[in-house]
Amino acid sequence: MARVAIVTGGTRGIGEAISLALQEKGVIVAANYGGNDDAAKAFTDRTGIKAFKWDVGDFDACQAGVAQVEAELGPVDIVVNNAGITRDGTILKMTRDMWEDVIRINLGGCFNMAHATFPGMRNRKWGRIVNIGSINGQAGQYGQVNYAAAKSGIHGFTKALAQEGARAGVTVNAIAPGYIDTDMVAAVPAEVLEKIVAKIPVGRLGQASEIARGVTFLCSEEGGFVTGSTLSINGGQHMY
């Protein structure tokens, strides 16, 4: 019987690539999204993957969203915590709301989704949780104390939860992407992007599909001996 996966932020960018890669592996995918109804509808029309709307930063909404997915598609075996936002600014300009919004969604979403799905995975003795961190959570980044803190927290969260799931057949891993050719990166001014690429040893931006291939391995049967790990996919920009 096919596994069921939830990919948060799964209708655009890296999330869309992950949703499609898992679908190609025979996984039944539910793509969560937070706000863009038109993009979600276009995604479903294009891919046939159902999209489910809820705020991953809301604990109760995650409980209800997972229950809806399980009622429609079956027990959730795989969770990819990809949803994230940025609210950049130096600490002198960063408001408390900018800090809390990023922590609530980027890090809190991992907790909320794991809390809603981990018990079922443990009871069935099989599960895969993959949390999408960031090179900026490893190395830091100017003007991103909120984002870097949240992503760094994801790496610690991953290692701790992996210890809770290991004996029950539930693996928990993270992927730390570098700079990937998505709409978010495309919005960076050309002169800034040129400087970013100059610092990447392989000489180019990454592709969303390259992150997705890492996710599919960690979610596979063959990935069962990998847990508590962070896979850096950054073209050599930060060797951690």
Q: Active-site positions?
A: 147
Residue count (the chain) = 240
C-alpha 202/C-alpha 41 separation (Å) is 36
Tracing tokens 């896979």 back to the chain, one arrives at 231
Alpha carbon distances (Å) from 200 to 165, 172, 231: 35, 28, 17
- Of 140, 213, 134, nearest to 174 by C-alpha is 134
